[in-house]
Amino acid sequence: MAVAPLPTAPAPVAPGTASAAPVLSLRGIVKCFPGVRALDGVSLDVRPGEVHVLLGENGAGKSTLINVIAGTFAADAGDYLIDGMPAGALTPQRARALGICPVFQEFSLAPNLTVEDNLFLGREPRRLGFLDRRAMRAEARRIIADLGFDLDPARTVATLSRAHQQMAEIAKALLAEPRVLILDEPTASLTESETEKLFGLIERLRAEGVAIIYVSHRMPEIRRLGDRITVLRDGRHVRTLPMAGVTEEALVELMTGRKVEVLFPHIQHRPGEAALELRGLTTADRSVQGADFVARRGEITGIAGLVGCGKSELVRAAYGLCPLEGGEVRLFGETFRHPSPARALRQGLCYFPSDRVAEGLALERPIRENASMAALDEAAIARGGVLRRAGERGLIQRTVERLALRPAHIERPVGALSGGNRQKVVLARGLVRDTQVFLFDEPTVGIDVGAKADLYAVLKELAEGGAAIVLVSSELPEVLHLSNRVYVMHRSRMIAELSGADLTEQAILSCFFAETGDGRTGREGVAS
Amino acid sequence: MSVRPLDHPPVPLRPDERALRLMAAIGLLPLLLVAAVVVVGILEPRFFGLMNLLNILRAASFLAIIAAGQMIVLISGGFDLSVGAVVALTSTVSASVMAALGAALPEAPATVIAVGLVAGLAVGAVVGLVNGACVVLLRVSPFMVTLGTMSIVGGLALLLTNGIPVYGLPEALVRDFGRALWFGVPASVFVAAAVVALVWLAQTRTVAGRHLHAIGGNPQAALVSGIATRRHLVGAYVASGLLAAVTGLVLTARVGSGQANLGGLDLTLQSIAAAVIAGTSLRGGVGRVERVAVAAVFLAIVTNAMNLLRVDSKLQLIVLGVVLVAAVAIDELAKRRQIRD
Amino acid sequence: MTETPVPSTATVASPAAMPAAGSLVRRLGLPAALVVMVAAFTVAEPRMLAGDNLLNVVVQASYLTLFALAQVVVLLTRGFDLSLGTAVSTVSVFAALLLTGSFGGAAGTLAGIVGGLALAAAIGAVNGAVVAWLRVSPFVATLGMLNVCLGLASLLSDGRPVAGLPDTFTTLFYAAAPLGIPAPVLVALGVAGLLYALLHHTVFGRSLYLVGGNPRAAEVAGVPVRAVLVGAYALCSLLAGIGALLLTARTGTGEPNLGGTLTLESIAAAVVGGASLRGGAGGVGAAVLGALFVTVLANGMNLTRVDGNVQAIVLGCVIVAAVVADRLRTGGGR
CA distance C58 to A98: 63
By C-alpha distance, the chain C residue nearest B268 is C143
Query: Could you give the angle at which helices C284-303 and C183-201 cross, rounded to 10 degrees?
Result: 150
**Pairing assessment for the beta strands A468-472 and A300-305 based on DSSP bridges:** parallel
Count of all residues that appear for chain C in the document:
334
Tell me the H-state helices in C11-83: 20-44, 51-75
For residue A286, is it within any domain? yes
Task: Say whether C267 and B272 touch across the interface (CB within 8 A).
Answer: no
A372 lies in the same domain as A336:
no
C258-292, pLDDT tens digit by residue?
887 888 889 889 988 888 877 777 889 989 999 99
The per-residue pLDDT for range B222-241, each reduced to its tens digit, is 887 878 889 999 999 999 99
Domain containing A376 equals 355-435
**Dist CA B219 CA A438 (whole Å):** 36
B-chain CB neighbours of C278 within 8 Å are: 141
Question: Is there a single domain that holds both residue A269 and residue A340?
Answer: yes
Radius of gyration of chain B (CA): 21
Q: What is the mean pLDDT of residues A85-90?
A: 82
Q: B131-135, B140-144, C296-300: which range is least confident on average?
A: B140-144
Domain regions of chain C by residue span: 47-331
Closest chain C residue by Cα to residue B159: C309
Place A212 in a pLDDT band, splitting at 50, 70 and 90: very high
Query: Which C residues 102-141 touch B at CB under 8 Å?
Result: 130, 134-137, 139-141
Least Cα separation, residue C216 to chain A (angstroms)? 5
- Out of B178-187, B188-197, B323-332, C184-193, pick the least confident: B323-332
Residue of chain A minimizing CA distance to B204: A131
Q: Which amino acid is at A207?
A: A
What pLDDT, on the 0 to 100 scale, is given for residue C7? 35
Phi and psi at A382, nearest 5°, equal -150, 145
Give residue C16's pLDDT: 37
pLDDT, greater one: C148 or A61:
C148
Q: How many CA atoms lie within 13 A of A109 on its CB side?
A: 36
Distance CA B312, CA A528 (A): 74
pLDDT at A17: 47
The burial class, CB within 10 Å (0-12 / 13-18 / 19+), for C291 is buried
pLDDT-derived band at A37 (thresholds 50, 70, 90) equals confident
Structure ipTM: 0.82
Integer CA distances (angstroms), C200 to A331, A378, B203, in order? 35, 17, 49
Q: Minimum mean pLDDT among A490-494, A515-519, B197-201, C75-79: which range?
A: A515-519
Tell me the chain C residues in contact with residue A429 when contact means C-beta distances shorter than 8 Å. 221
CA atoms within 13 A on the CB side of B263: 36
Q: Which residue of A has its CA nearest to B218?
A: A110
Picking from A256, A262, A212, A201, the residue whose alpha carbon sits closest to that of residue A234 is A256
Of B156, B316, B325, the CB nearest to C140: B325
Q: Which of B14, B20, B206, B225 to mutate to test the interface with A (most CBs of A within 10 A)?
A: B225
Touching subunits of B (3+ CB pairs, under 8 Å) are A, C
> What pLDDT is attached to residue C13?
35
Q: Which of residues 400-459 of A touch C (CB under 8 A)?
A: 413, 415-420, 422, 429, 445-448
| Mean pLDDT to the nearest integer, B95-122 | 92
What is the distance between the alpha carbons of residues A258 and A267, in angstroms, rounded to a whole number?
A: 18
Report pLDDT digits (tens) over B296-337. 998 898 888 888 888 777 777 788 788 888 878 877 776 665
| Residue of chain B whose alpha carbon sits nearest to that of C127 | B325
Angle at A494 between CA A490 and CA A497, to 5 degrees: 110
Identify which of B148, B154, B314 has the shortest CB distance to residue C319: B148
Q: Which residues in chain A have Cβ-Cβ distances shorter than 8 Å to B214?
A: 110, 112-113, 117-118, 121
Considering only alpha carbons, which residue of chain C is nearest residue B2? C8
Q: Do C2 and A357 touch (CB under 8 A)?
A: no
How far, in Å, CA of C205 to CA of A385, rounded? 10
**B141 contacts in C (CB within 8 Å)?**
277-278, 323
Contacts of B205 in chain A (CB under 8 A): 130-131, 133
pLDDT tens-place string over residues C13-58: 333 333 344 455 556 778 888 888 889 998 988 888 888 898 999 9
Residue A446 and residue C2 in contact, taking contact as beta carbons nearer than 8 Å: yes
Domain for residue A519, yes or no? yes
Any CB–CB contact under 8 A between B282 and chain C? yes
Assign a CATH topology to domain C47-331. ABC transporter involved in vitamin B12 uptake, BtuC (1.10.3470)
- Whether residue A108 is predicted with pLDDT greater than 50 in this model: the reply is yes
pLDDT of residue A261: 66
Average of per-residue pLDDT across A483-512: 88
With contact defined as beta carbons under 8 Å apart, do B291 and B278 qualify?
A: yes
Per residue in A121-167, pLDDT (tens digit) is 888 888 888 888 888 899 899 888 888 788 888 898 888 877 788 88
Prediction pTM value:
0.83
A512 touches chain C (CB under 8 A): no
- Number of domains into which chain A is organized: 2
- A516 pLDDT above the threshold of 60: no
Q: Give B90-142 as a DSSP string.
A: HHHHHHHHHHHHHHH-TT-HHHHHHHHHHHHHHHHHHHHHHHHHHHHHS---H
pLDDT surpasses 80 at B5? no
CATH number (domain holding residue A498): 3.40.50.300
Q: Do residue C144 and residue B321 have CB atoms under 8 angstroms apart?
A: yes
Q: Where are the beta strands (DSSP E) in A94-168?
A: 100-103, 126-127, 130-131
Give the residue from B83, B212, B78 showing the smallest Cα distance to B139.
B78
Residue A291 lies in a domain: yes
Q: Do B207 and A126 touch (CB under 8 A)?
A: yes
Q: Closest to C8 (Cβ–Cβ): which among B1, B139, B154?
A: B1
Other chains touching A, judged by 3 or more CB pairs under 8 Å: B, C
The residue among B71 and A75 whose pLDDT is bigger is B71
Q: For residue B245, give every residue at least 6 positions away whose Cβ sits within 8 Å of its Cβ, in sequence order, or none.
A: B86, B87, B90, B120, B121, B123, B124, B125
A362 shares a domain with A340: no
Average pLDDT for A342-368 = 90
